[in-house]
Amino acid sequence: MLDGLCPPQAAAPDLAGILLTHAHIGHYTGLMQLGREALATRELPVYGTARMLDFLRGNAPWDQLVRLGNISLRELVPGTSLELAAGLQLEPLPVPHRAEYSDTVAFRISGRHAALLYLPDIDNWEDCRPSIEELLQDVDHALLDGTFFSGGELPGRDMSRIPHPTVSESLLRFAGLPERTRSGIHFFHLNHSNPLLQPGSEACAQVERAGMQVARPEQEFLL
């Protein structure tokens, strides 16, 4: 996907910036592609909370990206909106998730015609404030944590150490929402063990029967 945005022969990547939700390993290590050995970007805006940015400044090799000017760190304040471009607003929303290295945020992104909720990681729906139902009522599209389809995907592992609401739980919780709201829900951030990665699987059929969707690679949402 990055090759599509940043063709190897291009003088500069076609990226306006990068938004980071938190400091778990799958969410920031792609920054290595911005270094002098790869894309060698110059002052590319990277947005995150104060704790997230402190993590990058204080840990190698990410601190080198800062020192060499490959990236320019921009602080996000949860609950405070930021204008990313004309007619495009970003609001970081704090969500409960394992906070070993940073806090975690979701994003509400509002355009001139529609709004989208981007929420890849949360421990559970019960502790979400505002409630997940309130957040869903306020957007047209929602990309929601679909890490695990069910609790038994990793035999021999203590799933309480990596808490996420399962898709099975989410389907039950959201069953009573209006059809328009349910149709805008897209499960993503799928673990390698998740059967939703297999098109045509029974898991995919369950999501479809519930009136919800599985996000597709490189899917676009017009706002």
Same domain, yes or no, for 150 and 214?
yes
The total number of structural domains that make up the chain: 2
Question: Is the omega angle on the peptide bond into residue 45 within 30 degrees of 0, that is, cis?
Answer: no
Which structural domain, as residue segments, surrounds residue 68?
1-81
Sign of the dihedral defined by the CA atoms of residues 69, 70, 72, 73, in that order: negative
User: What does the pLDDT read at residue 175?
Assistant: 98
Q: Is residue 37 part of a domain?
A: yes
Same domain, yes or no, for 77 and 152?
no
Residues 6+ apart with CB under 8 A from 167: 146, 148, 149, 150, 187, 194, 196, 203, 207
User: What does the pLDDT read at residue 15?
Assistant: 86
Same domain, yes or no, for 6 and 73?
yes
Average pLDDT by stretches of 10, the chain with 223 residues = 56 80 96 93 96 98 97 97 95 97 98 98 97 97 98 90 97 98 98 97 98 95 96
Q: Is residue 107 part of a domain?
A: no
Instruction: Residue 82: count other Cβ atoms within 10 Å of its Cβ.
Output: 15
Question: Is the omega angle on the peptide bond into residue 96 within 30 degrees of 0, that is, cis?
Answer: no
Same domain, yes or no, for 21 and 63?
yes
Q: Is residue 168 part of a domain?
A: yes
Q: Which of 66, 81, 96 is the last residue of a domain?
A: 81
Same domain, yes or no, for 69 and 119?
no
User: What does the pLDDT read at residue 14?
Assistant: 73
**Residues 217, 53, 146, 93, Cα dihedral to 10°:** -110
Q: Is residue 25 part of a domain?
A: yes
